[in-house]
Structure 1
Amino acid sequence: MNFSTIMSPRKLLAAALTASLALTGCSKNDDAAVDSDQPSLALVVSTLNNPFFVTLKEGAEKKADEFGYNLMVLDSQNDSAREMTNVEDLAVRGVSAILLNPADSSAAGNTVRAANRANIPVITLDRGAEGGEVLSHVASDNVAGGELAGDFIAEQLKKKGFAGGEVMQLEGVAGTSAARDRGEGFMKSVTTHNMTLVASQPADFDRTRALNVTENLLQAHPNVKAIFAQNDEMALGAITAVKAAQRDIIVVGFDGTDEGIKAVESGDLAATVAQQAGMIGEIGIEIARQALSEKPVEAYTPVELRLVTSG
């Protein structure tokens, strides 16, 4: 992979950026200087206000500690502009590689290009980046996961005598590859099983927003029999709305967070498509290690999915 050289003076950029950057969960290295005795990596995560990404971070930290790497963790707070600032600051710090979980796949192209200009390899985690040169991508097959959720819903509806019934979808953050791919897989299943999609609306991977969106959609669509939420946080919000409406509706989530799995075990959530968030973080660090050792790496590493049900 070819990268261009840095075009602007680093010291000026450092002075402008350091004051505005908040570092979260830094390992062995909390200031601007980088320990030259060990490779220093960075994880730029879309948000740490989501259990899935906290687990991803913990997996990366565990593997970095195992290899003796410094790992800086930066929270973009679901803001692409902050994400860009984070990466520009990392270019000043001279990290060896960046693991990027984009806030927005489309906007992340500019972020990746900023790392490219600094000759820093980028490995994307869970969400892809549309633009720039990415060394490797680590993620579950979100299309397959969305289809798996749809197939499960179709099977459950058939068992209840509602084959081809009305279903809804709660979408994640618009512009993310995860939301797009999970929706694509689910829609494929909807078509295959002749289900009737009456609503598909963004709730931004957020529990509270999902609660509000579901409340409104349930009023508008009184015959809905199932809801697919593109992550567990939205599924948990949907469950609260369904209970309040005293409706018998199948709710399926995605991610397999601890709380999501507990909701399946309690019978509140019918199922969740479980990713292995910690493994995504661990594999990202392993790929960075291969790259630093100048070993070939795979352009894409899939991480296995599994459907968690109460049965």
Structure 2
Amino acid sequence: MRDNSRPSRRNLLFGGAAVAAGGLAAACTGNDPEEDTAPAAQVGNNGGDNDKPGQKVTVGFSAPAADHGWIAAITKNAEAQAKRYSDVTFKPVEPTNDINQQISAVESLIAAKVNALVLLPNDGEQLNQVARKAMDAGIPVINLDRVFPDKLSYRTWIGGDNYGMGVAAGHFTGRRLKEKGVTNPVIVEIQGIATLPLTQDRSKGFADALKTYGFNVTAKQDAKFTVETGNQVASNLLQAHKKIDALWNHDDDQGVGVLAAIKQAGRKEFFMVGGAGSANAMREIKSGGVLEATVTYSPTMAGSAIRVARLIAQAKGMADLVEQQVPQSITLASETITRQNVDKYMPLGFES
């Protein structure tokens, strides 16, 4: 669901090569003892001190209303990270699912002249213009998750990997089916909202990974990201397929309804994989039930966005990178949580 672009670094790389070549020539022809030094272009000057207090900055924040466990966790993660820094003033606006209200809220942050703005839009297309207005006013926008179509509307995008999420689920499913010796599996997929690019990316990643094992999805249906629809869709699929070998549910919030339907039907012949990394899904995995894994699309990205906003506002780069500025886009890996590693991930889980 995202587009990535990076400015050309041809001149920087050429200049770095010239510096390196000059350094090599001096080492070969000079009479001075050799020194273990690297060209300045390869070292950077960030060190490891980015967490130390620096210039005081105000970070604005806007997100949709918390009517979904994942969205609620977005705001909580942002608030928690902001509290870690004595040099950050966190300025959130009222969360809303109304496009016009979110536009007005962002305009109020522009008027307040915040130093940076973390923005998870209800709709990237419809919030694109106000995000561009912030950028034009000199306020760097950290675009969270739902990408703006105009790259001039954000300084940095940060979010999860929807295609990678499907790939992770597909590899877990394929490996488990191979381990069980299943040769012609019935694989069921419960999507979020089928028309969304993010859902299509997840489904494509899942299908592509399954193909490497010689498997295909037998049936799929979308459940609108709600508990109620998840329950209804799962019930229908369970009735339509008397035997299932594997089920992938895209979203752990709607998965509450999916699991309820499975338990009500008393079905235990298959394993299930979830999506997003909720705390209740992790508890189910730990209990050893039908849910064996979930693949992450973690709301911790909001906490990372606050940290990135702080660095950009303070004109810092990322300490572990050579480059002097924060990257233009950051895509988080989708990790697979199983019974073997669930305790490590539990602190990052969100309540559905």
TM-score category of the 2 structures, normalised to the smaller one = 0.7 to 0.9
- SS of 1:88's partner is helix
Matches within 5 A, 1:17-56: 39-56=57-74
1:61 equivalent in structure 2: 79
Task: Look up the match of 1:72.
Answer: 91
Whether 1:88 and 2:107 are equivalent positions in the alignment is: yes
Moved more, 254-263 or 91-100: 91-100
1:299 aligns with 2:319: no
Equivalence for 2:274: 253
Tell me the number of residue pairs that the alignment of Structure 1 and Structure 2 aligns: 274
Secondary structure at the counterpart of residue 219 of structure 2: strand
Q: Distance in 2 between matches of 1:77 and 1:202?
A: 25
The equivalences for 1:33-182 within 5 A come to 39-68=57-86, 69-74=88-93, 76-132=95-151, 133-173=153-193, 178-182=198-202
Match among 267, 284, 288 for residue 263 of structure 1: 284
Shift of 1:161: 3.6
Tell me the distance in 2 between the aligned counterparts of 1:167 and 1:77.
37
CA shift in 2, pair 1:126/1:163, >3 Å: farther
Q: 1:114 to 1:228 in 2, by over 3 A?
A: farther
- Whether the 8 Å CA contact 2:192–2:199 is kept in 1: the answer is yes
1:12 alignment partner in structure 2: none
- Distance between the aligned counterparts of 1:110 and 1:158, measured in 2? 49
Residue of 284, 304, 319 corresponding to 1:283: 304
Give the 3 Å change call, closer, same or farther, for CA 90–257 of structure 1 in structure 2.
same
Compared CA separation, residues 94 and 164, structure 1 to 2 (3 A): farther
Residues 169-193 of structure 1: CA deviation (Å, up to 9, x unaligned): 2222456554343223112113323
Q: Between the two proteins, what is the percent identity of the paired residues?
A: 27
CA distance in 1, matches of 2:161, 2:76: 21
User: How big is each residue's C-alpha offset from its partner over 1:2-52, in whole Å with a ceiling of 9 and x where there is no partner?
Assistant: xxxxxxxxxxxxxxxxxxxxxxxxxxxxxxxxxxx9532222223423333
Gap change, CA 1:59 and 1:163, over 3 Å in 2: same
- Paired with 1:168 and 1:130, the residues of 2 have a C-alpha distance of 33
CA displacement, residues 231-288 of structure 1 (integer Å, 9 cap, x when unaligned): 211222211112222223322112212111111111231101134433x223211211
User: Within 1, Cα distance between the matches of 2:101 and 2:195?
Assistant: 16
Cα RMSD for the two superposed structures: 2.7
> Considering only CA atoms, is the larger Rg found in Structure 1 or Structure 2?
2
Rate the CA distance shift 1:265–1:39 in 2: closer, same or farther, 3 A.
Answer: same
User: TM-score, normalising length from structure 1?
Assistant: 0.76
Q: CA deviation at 1:304?
A: 4.1
What letter is aligned with 2:315?
E
Residue 233 of structure 1 corresponds to 253
* 8 A Cα contact 2:116 2:310, kept in partner: no
**CA deviation string 1:32-87 (max 9, x = no partner):** xxxxx953222222342333333332332222222232223346555544433432
> Where do 5+ consecutive residues of structure 2 fail to align?
1-54, 317-324, 341-352
Going from structure 1 to structure 2, the CA distance change for 1:78 and 1:176 (only over 3 Å counts) comes to farther
Change (3 A) 1:202 1:267: same
CA distance, structure 2, for counterparts of residue 233 and residue 159 of structure 1: 29
User: 1:225 & 1:85 partners in 2: Cα distance?
Assistant: 49
Contact 1:228 1:235 in 2 (8 A): no
1:117 CA displacement: 4.7
The answer to whether the 8 A contact 1:235-1:252 is kept is no
How far off is 1:136 after superposition? 0.9
